[in-house]
Structure 1
């Protein structure tokens, strides 16, 4: 089982879109895929029409149960998506209380990693959608993954968010080996100077850590979310889906430490 964490300490850069689209494309290629929503805002959960406020069981229970949770209980907490071979481990608003209630307890940083290990034979890929803040949830998502995918909107303020994200991963290096990561330029609009300059700065500063292509602005992403369907199912020939398909091929060719 391969685990990718999609993270950035700035909101609105395309984390959930990246999670859903890559997950949908992996499922389309025949893989068994689990999407994990670690954000208390539950955007990924709501994307698929799952009401976070009505859930009896969610990813929150993995944290409150800790070592006592079983594989069967985790599988029972999953929700099917609107696409084949694609399941959701949904979020609930209760996640927002974890830092206050459990942030100082020992061993909190590896709870997600241990839980996913219990279902490692059930899925080929797990994609974890992170909140845009440093805390117990992001630490767990980073500790659990094989690679961090960092969507970065091609505009100046998003570059500042990327700097914070890189600094956070450097702190994590104290606890484990260096995290492999790929920077994904998103919401690129070739008609604007802001996108052109931001992309140029990304490539100059982070070089081969940046995926060589871009995800363009595409209204089909918004339409797909309204339809509660992965973009590749809703509009498989759109330019945005084409870009993510190219990205996925690139990621699958990378070695685990690249």
Structure 2
């Protein structure tokens, strides 16, 4: 099993779209995929019709029952999507209370990693969609993963958000046995605007080989797929956005190891 995390401390940069699209494309390759929604807002969960206000079993359950975690409990939180080979652990609004609960409690930053390890024989790739705030949820998402994707909208404020995210990774590197080398994925690129073009150029100049050589364009078909609750590649398999995500997946999966031992 591989664990990938999609993270950025700025919202609205395409994290959920990235997680869902990659999951669908992995399923297209015959992989068994588990999406894990760690955002209390539950956008990924709602995408598949799982209302975060109404979940009795969710990613919050894993924290609530952390002392008695077992494979059956973890599997009971997995819900279906419209693809048989992709399941989702939905979010619950109760996730928003975890910061208060985590104060003074050991091991709260490793819950998701331990839970996923218990069902590693049931899945090939787990993809964690994380919240845009530094806290116990983002810490769990980063601590659990082996590969990290940071979607960055090609506009100035998103570049500032990337700086905060990379600073967070530097802080967390002290508690990991190995250092994560993230991959930066330029998203929402609009070649018609100078702001988008110059932001992409700045990304490449500043971060070099960490940046995916391509980019994900603005594509309204992602919005259409969201309204239907379907994976984007099933709505339009040859659309510009899906085609570029397919290229990213090929590059990401085939790139050099992303973990550099400290």
Which residue is equivalent to 2:7? 7
5+ long unaligned stretches in structure 1: none
Is residue 2:193 matched to residue 1:192? yes
**Is structure 2 residue 240 aligned with structure 1 residue 239?**
yes
Q: Which residue of 1 aligns with 2:215?
A: 214
Displacement after TM superposition at 1:199 (Å): 0.3
1:229 corresponds in structure 2 to 230
Deviation at 1:69, TM superposition (A): 1.3
Cα distance, 1:36 vs structure 2? 0.2
Structure 1 residue 252: Cα displacement: 1.0
- Is this contact kept in 2: 1:146–1:180, CA < 8 A? no
**Structure 1 residue runs of 4+, over 4 Å off?**
none
2:81 pairs with 1:66: no
CA distance in 2, matches of 1:185, 1:204: 13
- Superposed displacement of residue 101, structure 1: 1.3
Shift of the alpha carbon at 1:49? 1.0
Q: State the distance in 1 between where 2:112 and 2:179 align.
A: 19
Conserved? CA contact 2:189–2:216, under 8 Å: yes
- Quick check: 1:19–1:128 contact (8 Å CA) kept in 2? yes
Asked whether the 8 Å contact 1:83–1:233 carries over to 2, the reply is no
1:104-123 mapped onto 2 (5 Å cutoff): 104-123=104-123
> Which residue number in structure 2 is paired with residue 44 of structure 1?
44
Tell me the CA shift for residue 251 of structure 1.
Answer: 0.9
2: distance between equivalents of 1:174 and 1:257? 17
Quick one: distance in 1 between partners of 2:95 and 2:237? 33
Aligned residue for 2:203? 202
Report Cα offsets for 1:8-37 as digits up to 9, x if no partner: 000000000000000000011100000000
- Contact 1:62 1:112 survives alignment (8 Å): yes
> Aligned partners of 1:220 and 1:189: how far apart in 2?
15
SS at match of 1:30: coil
Give the CA deviation at 1:104.
2.9
User: Aligned partners of 2:50 and 2:144: how far apart in 1?
Assistant: 25
TM-score, normalised to structure 1, is 0.98
Structure 2: runs of 5+ lacking an equivalent: none
